[in-house]
Chains A and B, each alone.
Chain A
Amino acid sequence: MKIDKKLIKELVDNLDEFKLSELEYQSGDTKIKVSKWADISSANRVSETTMSNEKDVLSDEEVGVKIKSPIIGTAYLAAEPGAKQFIQIGDKVKKGQTIMIVEAMKTMNHVPASSEGVVKSILVTDGQPVEFGQTLILLK
């Protein structure tokens, strides 16, 4: 049987156009099924991401040095409940200093400041779920 590449391309385009995950086409003895699994999961991830619209939150003049979460998890501003926060707004931080902890699967990941600066704003609250790459604090 000759593979009709044009038809397959058309079916794949339809997947995108109509935002489908799977499409089956049958004509006589020929049956073609196209599906896209990987894309669905990534699409889900984007729609569920709390930070995907970072731009909406931060206007242009607000841009400072962003310190981002290295992992998806739960952000903690202090080492333990009731303890002193790692940083406060206005604090001077050194490069490498711990600014937050992000817990993922019972593993505590210390988030270091990627550069020196003064804490301009803290964008997450204690115990908040954070995504990979989500901006945690801004330095100026």
Chain B
Amino acid sequence: MFKKVLIGNRGEIAVRVIRACKEWGIATVAVHSDVDADSMHVRLADESVCIGSHQPQNSYLNIGAIMSAVDLTGAQAVHPGYGFLSENAKFAEIVNKHGIKFVGPSAELIRKMGDKIEAKKIAKMYGLPIIEGSEGSVKNFDEAKKICSTIAYPVLIKAAGGGGGKGMKIVEKESELENLFLTAKSEAKKYFGNDELYIEKYFKNPRHIEVQVLSGKNRTVHLQERDCSVQRRHQKLIEETPSPILTEEVRSKLLSSTVSMVEKLGYEGAGTIEYIYEDKKFYFLEMNTRIQVEHPVTEVVTGIDIIKEQLWIAHTGNTALQQSDINPRGHAIECRINAENPSKNFQPSPGTISVCHLPSGFRTRVDGAIFQGCKITPYYDSLIAKLICHGRNREEAIQRMKRSLDEFVIEGIDTTVDLHKKIISHDKFINSNFDTNWLAKEKII
């Protein structure tokens, strides 16, 4: 195993990786910006190096400074966490070129899967269903009609140069198409000076479902799916596993086709394939070539430490796991605790945590980097902790989550704790009757 690993990240994920390293007996190096000198990941690591000022591009995105820290400390591998440089192909390439192991897939695969069009092509080639639509722009109404009849209504007309919802039209049935197509075209011309239009399938009630994989040169295994459909502004807020809405038939198809695709890809490391799910069908969205925020729900039901496995695969090239080792038990839910004020449209809430009490107890896990007196600076992501509860079934996991949220005390800043209490007590959440647009539409706060 590696003797020393540098963690190129901060916050809760840096703490998470340091813990996994320690359990492998690996020495750890934290890097930090000047304002993070007193943060938890710096305190827990064996060594730490300040790599620059508060702005991410000067520190956590500063490849030169991180490479100097690697050189200075003699680290043999770099774990990038999520965000920052974790999906930066150039960084992975530079790390590997210097004989240091980048904990993740090859730079080439990061680049390929990071390119949306390329990733979609690859997914299709390796047998995954993709979101149907026009390939390139639609020239005229006749072509639009033909495309729409193959992908089936409802469809979404989008302006090639568009954004902010302008020039977007939802077409429910064919009789509406001509009118809406022409309106979209003239609006696109007016707003963007470009009347090129695309057409793709429109999802009315999409769920976000993703599959966790661990893959080495020898084989690929899946660790079941996660359902991440409680979102605000397209960012996940609550994740759970297993998905409460998948039938066994759909689930087994989803898992087997994902494994088959990742195997063909020749992927090494932990990865997640994200899908849109609607009407018993799933559609490839993208692949994340890194660890994800919500990985703990999978860990608690499978009993597999995904970060430790990542390190093992990085070291040996192979996964030690067989599919038969993965026997998920029960149900797990994660609530993201963010430093923001849900009643003020999720306005960021930096400040000093004056009182901090973390929930604990049976099958309750908190992954975080907060403590009494710590400062939440405005320079980075608002995620400060994750609360993960495991139950024999979904009902018990919800009960445990309620109990744990009631124990959670954070004073000095606003957080999403109270919002989570309302969501998980809501009938729609309990009955799993929601989609990714739910929070935007429903007044919960």
Residues on A lying within 8 angstroms of B by beta carbon are 37-38, 40-41, 44-45, 71-74, 103-107, 127, 129
B412 touches A107 (CB 8 A): no
Chain B residues within an 8 Å CB radius of A44? 352
Q: How far is the CA of A42 from the CA of B81 in the complex (A)?
A: 33
| B350 beta carbon closer than 8 Å to chain A | yes
| B381 beta carbon closer than 8 Å to chain A | yes
Q: How many A-B residue pairs have C-beta atoms within 8 angstroms? Tell me.
A: 50
- Dominant secondary structure at the B interface: loop
Minimum CB distance partner of B346 in chain A: A107
* From A41, A72, A105, A106, contact of B354 by CB (8 A): A41
How many whole Å from B279's CB to the nearest CB in chain A?
34
How many whole Å from A130's CB to the nearest CB in chain B?
9
B352 touches A74 (CB 8 A): no
| B378 beta carbon closer than 8 Å to chain A | yes
Minimum CB distance partner of A73 in chain B: B378
- Interface set, chain B 376-432, CB cutoff 8 A to A: 378-382, 411-412
How many whole Å from A17's CB to the nearest CB in chain B?
22
- 16 sample A-B contacts, Cβ–Cβ < 8 Å, listed by A number: A37-B355, A38-B354, A38-B411, A40-B373, A41-B351, A41-B354, A45-B351, A72-B350, A73-B348, A73-B350, A74-B55, A103-B378, A106-B380, A106-B381, A129-B378, A129-B379
Chain B residues within an 8 Å CB radius of A72? 350, 378
B54 touches A74 (CB 8 A): yes
How many whole Å from B66's CB to the nearest CB in chain A?
20
B350 touches A105 (CB 8 A): yes
| B13 beta carbon closer than 8 Å to chain A | no
Chain A residues within an 8 Å CB radius of B12? none
Given A103-B378, A105-B350, A106-B380, 6 other A-B residues pairs in contact with their CB atoms under 8 A: A41-B373, A72-B350, A74-B55, A105-B348, A106-B381, A106-B382
How many whole Å from A112's CB to the nearest CB in chain B?
16
B interface, how many residues as a size bin?
A: 10 to 19
A129 touches B54 (CB 8 A): yes
| B270 beta carbon closer than 8 Å to chain A | no
Chain B residues within an 8 Å CB radius of A37? 354-355
How many whole Å from B33's CB to the nearest CB in chain A?
11
Chain A residues within an 8 Å CB radius of B55? 74, 127
Chain A residues within an 8 Å CB radius of B355? 37
| B334 beta carbon closer than 8 Å to chain A | no
Q: How far is the CA of A72 from the CA of B55 in the complex (A)?
A: 14
Question: A41-B373, A74-B54 are contacts. A105–B352 as well, Cβ < 8 Å?
Answer: no
A105 touches B340 (CB 8 A): yes
Minimum CB distance partner of B412 in chain A: A41
B373 touches A105 (CB 8 A): no
Q: How far is the CA of A37 from the CA of B347 in the complex (A)?
A: 25
Chain B residues within an 8 Å CB radius of A41? 351-352, 354, 373, 412
Minimum CB distance partner of B353 in chain A: A41
B373 touches A74 (CB 8 A): no
Q: How far is the CA of A71 from the CA of B354 in the complex (A)?
A: 20
Q: How far is the CA of A74 from the CA of B352 in the complex (A)?
A: 17
Q: How far is the CA of A45 from the CA of B353 in the complex (A)?
A: 12
| B177 beta carbon closer than 8 Å to chain A | no
How many whole Å from B341's CB to the nearest CB in chain A?
11
- Interface set, chain B 307-364, CB cutoff 8 A to A: 339-340, 347-348, 350-352, 354-355
